[in-house]
Structures are given as structure tokens and as C-alpha cells.
Structure 1
């Protein structure tokens, strides 16, 4: 292995027993560039591009109870070309991180904290919160775009150096949520935001030239907490879910989630460049959905796949020996507590009716699919499974949506995957002609690796494992971009 660059990060977090600051969630304490890494198997020569994962990697000790979604964004990237690989990782240099670095301490409380204890106003739909840019990551208009789930500015990162180059100048004052969507067919980026002030949501389109083209209000009954959106070739799909801040407590400045099962799930379907009066609203069974998968148009219907939660407001987990303050936090990020199931919604654009059904009874989430089929009918979907009681991915399931068949790959105990996007082979012949790529954290050997799995035979496990120069922290989302998508416009 050849280390081209190494920088030790001055972390301010003392040893502690927090479950999401230890084990697979132990923060990574250095930034490096590395080539000529140990390879088990052979790096495929039929892929060219970059795999990027965003991780929560806190630098300073939290004010109050730390939530894993509060950590500072750290991007880990593996670039592939002609059978060679380069690894890099860098903190996202947000304005909040820069301010805390200068102060030498945390200045803002996180999701489990009291906003009144923040020392400055900050960002986010909640307010008085740091935009840590640690949730999602996509590639658009030749740049990596890192985003924060509670809405923030959106940070642009150079895909070659992983250096933060600034905030996206098209982001409106209301911010941008995590999970903007890139349509590879048009080069457009679709996004939304949400907050505590009417109309409570907006939706927009950014062109392939990285300029804002369209931005409209989406009126909701009150403050809501959506997390994701979807699109078809002609429409964008936004959502009003019945889990949101309790209005009675919000008036007192308390941001406590409540689940209101007497309210339906509502879907806003709007033409991509539509006006507010063109929004069509559809109702469905109450639930909460973290992540949608693909959506497409078929006859009179729009079809949407995602992960329907059967228990959106789970009881706290009681873990022996662990501070009971963590109980609700642990349950809210434990899939075996909120029980997401792969689900399909059908919206009839003529009758206005919604039909829906589970597609799989297993607990599944954090899926991926071939992004060249985004907005069009696709056949294959790849879900992750998790370790009960933990936000840790321990397996991948490939779904054949045409036949209903599936196959799985499960990791050994103590080994945990990342969100695993689909990587198309160069000159791919079919939708699943490619690989799944994932960073693996091995808590047994205390190392990390990047694994490539043949998408047409996932049960066989990795065809290639590249050993990283250090162990990385777990986190949330990842993306893949082909080399031709990295050309700056």
C-alpha cells in the first residue's frame, strides 16, 4: 500500500460508552489518500467511476445526548479505472464545523438535544442546529453534492480531491433536504425542502448546467418531516406523512415527534415543471417511509416502490447495562423496531384512486437499483438487511420484481456493509449487468475494505475485496457515478 497523503484529525471526544461512538460507529480519526492497496481477488477492468459514502463522524463532544445522525460529514471514496483503485477520505468542511473548530467545542445541539442550548442560530428545519452535511451524497453536474437530512445548504465537493469547494449557489433560503434525485437521462437534479413556516414545503429543479430552473411551494397543513422523494419521466412525487412534530408541543418550542395514525399518508404528484395548481393529491394507508425506490408511469397509473413502516413510533429498547436515555433513540433507528417492508403504491391518474400492497414480508430498507432505469420501469432492486437492535447493515437481498424471486448475501457476524449502489459494467448488456459496491467494516479484524459483488450472482459474495488503510465509521448513504458523469459542466 502507498499512502499519498495523511492528516491526523484533532478529535475532542473523550472515551465514553455511547453505542454509536464505539464498535462499527467508532469515528475515523485521519484523512488519507492511498493506492496500491492489498486486493483479495481481482479489481474488475469493466467499471470506471467513483463510489462515495457519507458517514457521521463527529469531531467535538456533543451538547447533551449524541445522536448518530448529528455527526460531521466525512466522505469516503474509492475511484476505479482500468483495474486500478484509489481510496480517499475527507471531512466535509461545513460552516458549522469550521465555527466549532475555531471555538474548540460544539456550538449546536443535535436531534436529541434542546435547541435552546445551542449557542448560535444555525441551520435546519428545526432551527438552532448544525448543518453537518452528513446524510446523503449524489453526483450532479460533475460535482459531489453532500446534504443534510434536516435541510441545509448543500456542500459541493471535488470528486478528484474530495476537497470541499463551497455551498451550491442555487440552494434557496429554505435550504435543501437530503435525497435530491439526479435524472441521468436529462442531467437534471430534483429536490425538496421543508420547515416550520407556511407553506411548509417547496420543490425545485436544477438543470444539467447546475442552475436553478424551477421552484414552487407545496402547501401542507403544518410542519412535516418528509425524508425522501421520487420521480418518473414526467412527474415528481412528494409526500405528507402522519409522523411529525407534535403541534401542541411545537408551540412551546419542543420538537417531539408524534405519530397520528388517524391521518392518511398523502402523496403530491406534480409535473416536473408543474405549478402548484397542477399538484394532484392521493391518499394511502398511514405510515412513515424513510426511502423510496423507483417510480414509473404505466398506462393510467404511476407506480412507486418504497419501504412501508409497520410501526413508525416504536417503544424504547431496553438494553441491559445501557443508559435508559438511549432507549427511544435506539428504537427509532432499529429497523426491527419500526419494521419497514418493501411496498408498492399505485396511483390512478384518471380515477384518483390509490392501491397498495407489500411486496416482501422481510424487514428491509436502504435499497438501490440501476440508476439508468430511474423514472422508468425496472426489474431489479437491491435491499439491505440489518442486525436486530442496531443500525448496522448485515446483508443484501436482490429482488426480481418480474418473477417475485430473490437471492441473498449475508455477512459474517461482526462484519457490516454500507449502502451498496449498483455499478453498471462498461457496455452493459442488461439491467443487472454489473456489480454492487460496498465499504465493509470488520469489527473482528479491526479493518475496513471495499467489496464488489457480481449483481447477477450476489449469493456468491464478493469477487474483489480491497483492504483500506484504516477502519472507517458506519453511516447512512452512498452513491456511484460513472467516470463520464464526473466531467464538470
Structure 2
């Protein structure tokens, strides 16, 4: 899972008048640091429910046992305490003991599955990474590298699919002797090149940003970032010296570890998305993290070429305009959201700059600054020569976001409400807490969708309110459609905008994937072990260090749900919200292109009603009927984002709604923590629609265990 890792200290130099307030706050902090700074809270190991699986994995449809277990568990969030044998409820309002629901045998099975999930993620997250290149002959199986389940479809895939699959992700979450938050780990990019003649070339490379090279050379965390620390603090081993080291270290961790996108689109003889004849720039692989700068990799070797603005100098004044108030004369560069989008119809590549404005431009009822902060987003559209086609910006209330979407006429941004915690800014400045303690989700405010017109710079930006708070991390297909039967040319007759969003009903930043910086461990079950309602018990932060704190569970992340929003484009109001029924928790969607109507989407699925991470399932969903099909990889395995690969038959091209947009294959990287190996699994999209969606094949790297792969992209008919 990923977030907009905005640096809450980015604009502290502008606060000026608040320095005295911060100084006073700091004196209060230091005066109480020896006695009242909280110690690490006790972490709970949550009960989970999972399938009984075989070594090759188990499959189930959405109507199977897991649905009933999900329904049963969501209303009865329970946990195991690591400090006591007795069971405790997760909320003060829930008093019924778990013994009334499960017998001792089932309790023990759940406890063991919780331990297995924790060990699975920890093993994969901490696995060392190295640069690697390997060629596999898919026509032979000399080293037991291939397991084929459907010979006919396997032969079709290896002889007809020519293209390159890129996927970025985490390097090891251990640097030297300390653990780093997964979102701030070094980047590790992989390419899988299918030549259409039975050969697969695999290349893996650590992304060598300046920070990565420095830290790997000394085997030590040098920059604390927003979610991590370079040293333990008070009451955690290093005392005030540790806090000083944290305060002096940079809050920026530019590791380019989340996404990988190729631009310009490669020139191929058979692809409908080839670059134009006027393009004079060779494709570069663009990798980025949130709140970072884009880097360029060589598409063939994956060697780091440098920052994108250094590789393509004409981008410098576009990324950082001379009169840009966000960067000014400080010499700093604008920071980007990792996710980009591609408009196939217009052949445009779109990037997004996101800036946190502190203390903000808002005023209270008396016309005085309200110090609530603002968020500014800028969308840059490029043609295939990296010339800027359009630029559109919007400033709104303080918010956080990681993903955004694209339709024919709009940029769609989730307005996930957030607020600043000014009392923690001084603590963060002086190394007494992590950056995510400086802001929090504002769950008293309903979420909105910001619709920013793409083609008319003076057309008004609309913020469409919904009826609930949400934190929308990722988007499935988003598109405009018409509910009328008559459509005339050159007329914007679309009257509905459909948004499929993976949302959290509440959320606390800082403990993603179960990361606990104080304890220097991962406990993913604890991180995501609540039901659909936030517990009413009070809780401490992931970095609180009160030695007298009671052992409670931090309310952090419930299972992500898929909601389908319909916006009426005539009056710009929310028309309906549907939570997809009978669907297990899902995130990390992948589908056949942006800005077009689609019937299907693929996701990662959570097999456990509580403690839903790490993901171990692939889910296919019909967005019209809500029917779903699920493949479960089994215990001790973790699946990465699925990737749709179209067949080379023209059925998936030209943005034609009358043709099949789901004719192809699905691939996913599966990490096996027990055997410490990685495999690439491939399914046929049509055969996936069965009670037992068996893969076509599995391609093994028996001696390699990748840390988790995050986001990727596929380019048909392209071999670098």
C-alpha cells in the first residue's frame, strides 16, 4: 500500500512569525521529555481467518467461505494481546468475548495464521537485493524453471506476446542495522522482456539516486524522511543524542521506488501507440516516489541516468518555473506525485506536481490566517517530444493523496481531508516524532472529488462532496458515459462520470505494512486489524513513547473497500455511491487503459477478514454485474500488483467501446517467503472467469526472492 508522503517541513522556512510559537512549544517539550514522553505502545497480534491451501495455492469465487467470515468478523473486531493470554476487545463498545464465536481450536489456528502473516512480510521486506540479469528459454525447461498448466495457451503466450513489462518496488527495508519504512526504502526496478519467440530476459537494478548511493556505501540510514528515523530517541536507546541526530538529518528521501513509466512511447511497427515521426527523443524509463523528483533509467539496462530534468534539460523550466512561488529562489525543486497517466486517444503523458503550503492562505471568520494549510496540485500534459501541451493548477484545503485519475475531459483527484497538528511541528523539527505525526486525517469532514477541466484553462474547477469521509488510495477505471441513446459529433454529451475507488473508511498514517520504527519490527496484522468502524478507544501514535501507556491497538487501517461513485455532470453533484457487494477487501487495481469505459478490472485481494495485509490474492471484477473471481496464492506467499497484457489481435486498441477490452493475459509476481523464491504467474483473462482460475504457467526464479513489487507498466511490441 502507498500514500502521498508529503514533507510537512517543506515550507517551514516561510513560517517566520511562528518561530516564537515553535520555540515556546519546544521548551515545553524539552521540559517534559524526561518524564512524559510516551514509551512505545504494546502492539497486538490480531486474530485472522484464512483458507486452507495447497503448495500451489487455492482458488475461490466471491461467494465462498471468506465472504461469510468477512461479514462475521467485521462486526466483531478482536485481537490477541502479545502481553497476555486473555482475549481483549478492540473497542470499548464491543463487549462480547471472542470465545462465544470460536472454539479454542479455531482461536489457535487464527493465532498461528497471524504469526505466519507477520513472518511472511518480514522475510520478504528484509530480503537483500542485488542487480541481476538472467535469460530464460521458455521453449525448454532444463532447470525446472517452468511449470505449465495449459500447454495450448502457454504456447500461444510465449510465441505471440512480444513486449516489455516494467515494475518498480522496494529494495530491502533494512539499511545497515536499522529498518526503514517501506515507502522510504530504496527503489528496485525490474524488467521482463518477452521476445515473442520463446525467450524471456529479466533485468533487476537498484535505482541509484544520490541518497541511495550514499546510504549503500556506508550501510546506514542518513536521511530520516517523513516516516522513519536515523536513530532511536528518548527512552528508546539513544536518549537526547538520538533526537539531535534525527533533528539534524534531512527529511527528504528521494528513492524513486514506486512507479515505472516509459515515455515517449516506443516506436514500433505494429503498435497503435507509437511515437510520432516528429519525436526526436528516445524513450526513457521514468521512475518516481511520492514527494520526490522523477528519475530516468535506461530502458534496456535499467541503469540510472540521473534526474529526468538533467537527462532532458528542456524540462527544467517546466518542472521549476523561474517565478514559481513553491520553489522561489531557494534552489529547491518541485515534488511530484509518483503516479502518472496516459491518454491513448491524444497520445499524451500526464504528470502531477503536489505542493504542501504551510501555514496556508486560508482566513478565519475575522479575516486572520487560520494556519490550516493548503494543497496545490499542477497537471502537466506532454506530447511525445516532451513538449508541454497544457498546464493546469488548483489550490484547495489541506489534503493528502497518492493517486489520481483521468477521463476524457477531467483530472479526477480524491480530496482526502486532513489537518495539521501544530503541536507536533516542533517535535518533528527537533527529532522527537516522525513527520506523519505532523498531520492526520480529518475524519469529521466528508471526502470530495476534485474535477479539474483538462482542455479549458478558464473552466471552473468543481469539488463534488460525498456523504462520508474516505481516504482513497488508488483508482480503478474512471470514465465518462452518456445515459442517452443519441450522441452527436463534437458535443460533450456525456452526462455521468464513473469513479471506481479503493477507499479506507478511516486511516492513520505512519504504520503502513505494520512498520513500527520504535520497536524496529513489522507487524502487518496489527496495522490492518479493524473492522469498518473506528474503535472508540483512545490510542497512541506509532511513535508515542509513554512508558505508562496501556497496551492498546493503534487504530490505523481497516480493510480497503471498492466503492463505485456516479457523478452527474449536468449539475456536478454526486448521484450515487455503491459499495461493491460480496467483494473481499481489494487494492492495487490494474486495467486496460485510462480515460475510457471499461467493464473489467483486476486487483490484489486480502484473504483475511482481519489483518488483511499482506495481499495474497488476485481478483477479477465485472464492474457492471459486480461478479468476481479470486485466485489465492496460499500461506507464506505475497502477490504483487497484477498487470493486464493485451493479445496482439487488435481487440484492445483504438478506444473502441464495441470491442472486447479484456482479451489477453494477466501476470503477477508472487513472492514465496518459505522457499525464498520468486515466480511470475500468468493467467488467460477469460479462463480466469471460473470457479478455479488455474494459471497458464509459473516461471520460477528459484534462487531469488524479490522484496515487494509495487507499480508497473507494460509496452506491447517493444523490446529495448
Distance between the aligned counterparts of 2:716 and 2:303, measured in 1?
A: 19
Q: 2:444 maps to which residue?
A: 262
- Quick check: 204-213 or 441-450, which moved more? 204-213
C-alpha displacement of 1:86:
0.8
Root-mean-square deviation over aligned CA pairs: 3.1
Distance between the aligned counterparts of 1:60 and 1:395, measured in 2?
A: 26
Structure 1: which 5+ residue stretches go unaligned? 1-17, 123-127
Q: 1:461 maps to which residue?
A: 694
- Quick check: 184-193 or 444-453, which moved more? 184-193
Scaled by the length of structure 2, the TM-score of the pair is 0.58
* 1:189 and 1:207 in contact (8 A); partners too: yes
C-alpha displacement of 1:233:
1.3
Distance between the aligned counterparts of 1:146 and 1:483, measured in 2?
A: 21
* 2:125 and 2:708 in contact (8 A); partners too: yes
Structure 2 residue 256 is the aligned partner of structure 1 residue 80: no
Structure 2 residue 347 is the aligned partner of structure 1 residue 187: yes
C-alpha displacement of 1:195:
3.0
* 1:186 and 1:208 in contact (8 A); partners too: no
SS of equivalent to 2:400: coil
Q: 1:137 maps to which residue?
A: 260
Change (3 A) 1:381 1:358: same
1:167-316 matched pairs, under 5 angstroms: 167-169=307-309, 170=315, 171-172=319-320, 173-197=333-357, 200-204=375-379, 205-222=381-398, 224-243=399-418, 245-250=420-425, 253=428, 255=435, 256=437, 257-275=439-457, 278-284=460-466, 285-298=468-481, 299-313=494-508
* 1:64 and 1:113 in contact (8 A); partners too: no
Higher normalized helix content (fraction of residues): 2
Higher normalized strand content (fraction of residues): 1
* 2:167 and 2:260 in contact (8 A); partners too: yes
* 1:62 and 1:109 in contact (8 A); partners too: no
Change (3 A) 1:33 1:232: same
Scaled by the length of structure 1, the TM-score of the pair is 0.84
Structure 2 residue 330 is the aligned partner of structure 1 residue 147: no
Change (3 A) 1:201 1:289: same
C-alpha displacement of 1:313:
3.4
C-alpha displacement of 1:209:
1.8
Q: 1:435 maps to which residue?
A: 665
C-alpha distance after superposition, 1:213-260 (max 9, x if no partner): 3333311223x3211100111211123212454355346646314221
Distance between the aligned counterparts of 2:470 and 2:604, measured in 1?
A: 20
* 1:60 and 1:105 in contact (8 A); partners too: no
SS of equivalent to 1:338: coil
Q: 1:31 maps to which residue?
A: 131
Distance between the aligned counterparts of 1:242 and 1:271, measured in 2?
A: 21
Question: How many equivalent residue pairs?
Answer: 458
Q: 1:5 maps to which residue?
A: none
Distance between the aligned counterparts of 1:69 and 1:334, measured in 2?
A: 20
Distance between the aligned counterparts of 2:221 and 2:168, measured in 1?
A: 20
Distance between the aligned counterparts of 1:455 and 1:335, measured in 2?
A: 33
Distance between the aligned counterparts of 2:423 and 2:717, measured in 1?
A: 50
* 2:185 and 2:255 in contact (8 A); partners too: yes
Change (3 A) 1:21 1:383: closer
Change (3 A) 1:193 1:118: farther
* 1:63 and 1:108 in contact (8 A); partners too: no
C-alpha distance after superposition, 1:94-147 (max 9, x if no partner): 12112334555321013333597458775xxxxx22111111222221322111
Change (3 A) 1:146 1:118: farther
Change (3 A) 1:113 1:104: closer
C-alpha displacement of 1:62:
6.8
Structure 2: which 5+ residue stretches go unaligned? 1-117, 138-144, 149-153, 231-243, 265-282, 310-314, 321-332, 361-373, 482-493, 532-556, 652-659
* 2:179 and 2:517 in contact (8 A); partners too: no
1:311-390 matched pairs, under 5 angstroms: 311-313=506-508, 331-332=526-527, 337-354=557-574, 355-360=576-581, 361-371=583-593, 374-386=594-606, 388=608, 389=611
Q: 2:553 maps to which residue?
A: none
* 1:194 and 1:225 in contact (8 A); partners too: no
Change (3 A) 1:457 1:278: same
C-alpha displacement of 1:34:
0.7
Change (3 A) 1:19 1:210: farther
* 1:242 and 1:259 in contact (8 A); partners too: yes
Q: 1:413 maps to which residue?
A: 635
Distance between the aligned counterparts of 1:289 and 1:304, measured in 2?
A: 11
Distance between the aligned counterparts of 1:440 and 1:414, measured in 2?
A: 10
Among 161, 164, 182, the residue aligned to 1:50: 164
Distance between the aligned counterparts of 2:192 and 2:204, measured in 1?
A: 9
* 1:109 and 1:117 in contact (8 A); partners too: no
Distance between the aligned counterparts of 1:396 and 1:279, measured in 2?
A: 36
